[in-house]
Structure 1
């Protein structure tokens, strides 16, 4: 399946093989053609990869309702703070050798839409990222019988405070709705103010508070984009067509 794209980010759907590499957390062994920013993967990324691999083993691959690696677009604005430069041919990157010159990304035609995605929200055939992975955003499995999914997300420390998490979450929510999902929920610790802001800025509402967590949700009832039926576990979805 194709990646989701925003003005600054690429949300790459992880395969089981890629998730296994994230789970080991070895910065010297990212998937071929991809590199990781310093600090990636962190404990949260490794935990998400383990959960995905367990789901694949027990129930099959849930994609497109699985984890997405957040990568900076090579043709987009650079991340503030410590910058991870694109490696030159044969020169080391974060202490690891690079074999050959990376494939440069080419701009996608079209202006970003209201949700921040471009040209239908997916990458064109043959397009590859040339920015580093900085975190992840994920569905915690396929929608339940009520058409609801749970989401989670996280960024490396140096990528926080720049709107990347909200941008990624908005794209994931738009994709979920385009697939017929009726509601999305997420939660965060009571003192995780940054995460509360991310969900609120993406359009999710605070719906409950307990002793440990604040719970957020967004729902669309039976309203889905034109031509889409509400998600049913009895029917497959087409992950290559976001809407």
Structure 2
């Protein structure tokens, strides 16, 4: 794994996933010492980890543009995941995704994590960050707005957001 730093926020650690971490998430088998919240990993965490593994196999290590486990700073419990869907496109744009276990929602963790991930994208040289949320997922839409992303439009399934860095 490329030397990718843990991101620390006021209440959270964003731990960059290694290939081994991703395999454990895909298999839903914590290693000794892993502290996983109830209902972690969720389906989205598994898809993200598998996408990361596929990307590493196809293109190599993505550096900063990888998934991160969202851990509580207080005790290290993993309560969700956030990350990039892959490296930037030809224009330098990255796409993000995130999710929290039900017990961690409504506490501002997603917005705190997203602001930190946007800062990491800026440091790593991305030109913009994109994301989307289901039309009925108002909470996720508010998370992106709280992180400074602006509404760009929607289709029959999702609302699209972007932040130019």
* TM-score in same-fold range (> 0.5): yes
1:171-210 → structure 2 map (5 Å cutoff): 171-210=116-155
Kindly indicate whether the alpha-carbon contact (under 8 Å) linking 1:13 and 1:63 is maintained by their aligned counterparts in 2: no
Question: Aligned partners of 1:169 and 1:194: how far apart in 2?
Answer: 13
Q: Which has the higher contact order (CA 8 A, sep 6+)?
A: 1
Instruction: Name stretches of at least 5 consecutive residues in structure 1 with no aligned partner.
Output: 75-129, 221-243
1:49-128 → structure 2 map (5 Å cutoff): 49-74=49-74
Question: Aligned partners of 2:104 and 2:63: how far apart in 1?
Answer: 26
Number of equivalences = 162
TM-score by length of 2: 0.95
Structure with the bigger percentage of strand: 2
Kindly indicate whether the alpha-carbon contact (under 8 Å) linking 2:64 and 2:120 is maintained by their aligned counterparts in 1: no
1:1-243 → structure 2 map (5 Å cutoff): 1-26=4-29, 30-74=30-74, 130-220=75-165
Question: Aligned partners of 1:43 and 1:134: how far apart in 2?
Answer: 13
Question: Aligned partners of 1:34 and 1:166: how far apart in 2?
Answer: 24
Kindly indicate whether the alpha-carbon contact (under 8 Å) linking 1:183 and 1:219 is maintained by their aligned counterparts in 2: yes
2:103 is paired with a residue whose SS is helix
Shift, 1:31, TM fit: 3.3
Shift, 1:32, TM fit: 4.2
Question: Aligned partners of 1:166 and 1:33: how far apart in 2?
Answer: 27
Question: Aligned partners of 2:34 and 2:27: how far apart in 1?
Answer: 16
2:21 is paired with a residue whose SS is helix
Cα deviation 1:142-179 (Å, max 9, x = unaligned): 11111100000000000000000000000000111122
Question: Aligned partners of 2:35 and 2:83: how far apart in 1?
Answer: 19
